[in-house]
Chain A
Amino acid sequence: QQQVKQSPQSLIVQKGGIPIINCAYENTAFDYFPWYQQFPGKGPALLIAIRPDVSEKKEGRFTISFNKSAKQFSLHIMDSQPGDSATYFCAASRQGGSEKLVFGKGTKLTVNP
């Protein structure tokens, strides 16, 4: 049973576009939602994370929007650049409980010049 559903599977945008990646979760006990960025041949690297007590968090060009009632969260990349081309994973976990991070299936983003 997949507890975090991520869409789309792949996404192609032009430079300067705003790709949006969506995730939905089922377990209401989750209270920590990180996004990871993975380049080919590298391990995933933490990009940005949010807790359910806020509806939005911004770090540079990356913004997470969080909708607790809908159990959904999304990643927006403003003014996307070819260097943002990577695979993005959303994840969820419960702080102070199991250390287990539940990952979405990933979204392969391509930003064309």
Chain B
Amino acid sequence: ETGVTQTPRHLVMGMTNKKSLKCEQHLGHNAMYWYKQSAKKPLELMFVYNFKEQTENNSVPSRFSPECPNSSHLFLHLHTLQPEDSALYLCASSQRGQGLQFFGPGTRLTVL
């Protein structure tokens, strides 16, 4: 595997379900990000992790819970989501202090 991978690629869940999105980067980077991409909206930064420490939370509702066990892996735990949370969730990684971010293919999430 190379670059940034995300699983699953597609996820359909009910509002009462609990699920997790996984991201893995194979680039030796030390910063990782979660973005939300909705139709007709710009890419919305959700969380930033540097060296496994969360350094930014952009007022994201608590029903989204990130976890970064090491510099290569990033999770987004989901619970009691709303239909408006349906979107493409993108993971990215970079070398800290550099603006160049590499994105994964995303997880298309549908909340019923």
In whole angstroms, how far apart are the Cα atoms of A44 and B56 in the complex? 21
A103 within 8 A of B: yes
Chain B interface main SS type: strand
Q: Is A34 an interface residue (CB 8 A)?
A: yes
Size of A's binding interface in residues, CB under 8 A = 26
> Which chain A residue lies CB-closest to B55?
A99
CA distance in complex: A8, B108 (Å): 26
* Contact indicator A49/B100 (Cβ below 8 Å): yes
| A93-B100 Cα distance, complex, nearest whole Å | 9
Q: Is the CB of B106 within 8 A of A100?
A: no
Inter-chain contacts of A99 with B (CB < 8 A): 31, 33, 48, 50, 55, 94, 96-99, 101
Within 8 A of B (CB), among A11-55: 32, 34, 36, 41-46, 49
**Bound form: Cα–Cα A34–B99 in Å:** 8
Check if B42 is an interface residue, CB within 8 A of chain A: yes
* Residue-wise interface mask of B (71-105) relative to A, using a CB-CB cutoff of 8 A (1 in contact, 0 not): 00000000000000000001010101111111111
Report the separation of the CA atoms of residues A46 and B33 in the bound assembly, to the nearest whole angstrom: 16
- Known: A43-B104, A103-B43, A106-B42; 19 extra A-B contacts, CB below 8 A, are A32-B99, A41-B108, A42-B105, A42-B106, A43-B90, A43-B106, A44-B90, A46-B100, A46-B102, A49-B99, A49-B100, A92-B99, A95-B99, A96-B97, A99-B31, A99-B99, A99-B101, A101-B101, A103-B42
A binding-site residues for B, Cβ under 8 Å:
2, 32, 34, 36, 41-46, 49, 89, 91-97, 99-101, 103-106
